[in-house]
Structure 1
């Protein structure tokens, strides 16, 4: 019996040692997963480069490329020149190019059609109403980038028109104080802010890289729609061509700009009564009649009642 018990105890000890030193199946699976992850980490960068690229390069860029291909087929031959002109008037917003505008027009048209299609069902329109609503959504999405550029150009031209008289005054003072024209332009670009300051800085850079003064000023006039700025540039170019003193021309232009600014202010002031007529008739007078005649009307109704 002692011999049998000893054998059993030895066998049990051997089994316990075997269980203690063996690796569970879960740990084996975990070690295999870690090994697989480590092997994936050791994959060459050429194979994982496609997954490491940002979402904009993997999805948005190919989408814009396809939209650009479709947009070029539907636009005219001179569309690139017209869009470039709009970008120049808008001040070349960062990231906006001719190709991007064309692709955004196609993407906006498709998005407008899809959004209008969904909203037409939500509004419960009829068949004719759905067709008209979807068509309007597509047209609005297609011309959305053009409207954005038009608004940017409009705001920019207005800002330049308001800053032009002050800039010409500063340019006149700088030239009359003894500075050269290039140094005076630099003073205007440095001491003013806004789109006009940026345009004068661009003119200065173009003259510094070797472009003539007249060509740089003409390029400035071509990038704007302001008649006052164009006449100012034309006077400077003619003065430079005929040898007329710049200070005298600037003094005359400054006086004319101030006069035009005063006339525009007077014109807007005279338009105020006409513009106030519509809200006065449809908004103010009805409420005034209600406040004045309302109590009397209620009294009369009570008397007859």
Structure 2
């Protein structure tokens, strides 16, 4: 008899979470929103949504039980114990959602940061004679190590093109998956150039110049707000420390020498 290959524990756990997720009722609207959030977080497993819902069930049960075990033998007020258990239940049930949101925002920031380099590289590729599809593929290869997030997105565009989808459809899918505003603008420029037959290189270079101006304006705006943001740490952190360092020795000397002289001690 042939022996079955051992199943990795993580796969068993994922399967368990997936089956638990099937039992959690959810509206189609909530499922659609959460599925989009998972995609933007880079979690594209076909069972990712079920696994997430399964994790919500497991965490929503495990954390309250753990909190109950912690507060059971304490002398705390019973109301506080109940509130602690309820807080643990809320954290366990809604925590996975927040984790996915944090990962999605972090990934969007990484794509936003890499977009300028990707656009410059795409301009070089197009001006050297490559078509747009080949340029996207080349950018995905070149940025694989430096910016894996945007490389993955461009790689998916190439796979969709190989699968026979129209270029405009794949570009719209790219904008929808990433959810980055500047990338949506780039996609709009590419679709317009493809639709009206204008030069891709000229459109990309113009958009690259626009992005540089926009980035400079954002940097100037942040620099202008820096003074206001420094008011609180200066007045409540730096000035008190400076006051203690400069006035402290004088105050000590007054207490030790001047006050005894004035009181005749």
Give the TM-score normalised by the residue count of structure 1. 0.75
How far has the Cα of 1:45 moved from its partner?
8.4
Distance (whole Å) between structure 2 residues aligned to residue 56 and residue 198 of structure 1: 24
| 2:94 pairs with one of 136, 139, 143 | 143
Distance 2:189 2:9 in 1: 52
Q: Could you report, residue by residue, the CA deviation over 1:148-184 in whole angstroms, capped at 9, with x for unpaired residues?
A: 1111111111111111111111111111121111111
Cα drift, residue 274 of structure 1? 2.5
Distance 1:61 1:164 in 2: 34
Alpha-carbon distance change, 249 to 63 in structure 1, aligned in 2, over 3 angstroms: closer
CA displacement 1:183-238 (0-9 Å, x = unmatched): 11121111113211111111111112211110000000001221111011011111
C-alpha contact 1:112 1:142 (8 A) present in aligned 2 = no
Q: Under a length normalisation based on structure 2, what TM-score does the superposition of the two structures give? A: 0.86
Of 219, 233, 240, 1:279 maps to: 233
**Contact 1:87/1:149 (CA < 8 Å) preserved in 2?**
yes
Secondary structure, counterpart of 2:28 in structure 1? coil
C-alpha deviation, 1:55, in angstroms = 5.7
- Equivalent pair of 1:240/1:246 in contact (CA under 8 Å): yes
Distance 1:122 1:265 in 2: 55
Residue 268 (structure 1) aligned with residue 222 (structure 2): yes
The CA deviation at 1:69 is 4.4
Residues 177, 53 of structure 1: CA spacing in aligned structure 2 closer, same or farther, 3 A cutoff? closer
Higher Rg of the two aligned structures: 1
C-alpha RMSD over aligned residues: 2.5
Question: Deviation of residue 290 (structure 1)?
Answer: 1.2
* Equivalent residue runs for 1:187-198 within 5 Å: 187-193=138-144, 194-198=148-152
Matched with 1:71 is 24
Unpaired runs of 5+ residues, structure 2, are 261-265
Aligned length: 255
Q: Shift in Å at residue 76 of structure 1?
A: 2.5
**Native 8 Å contact 2:17 2:53 kept in 1:** no
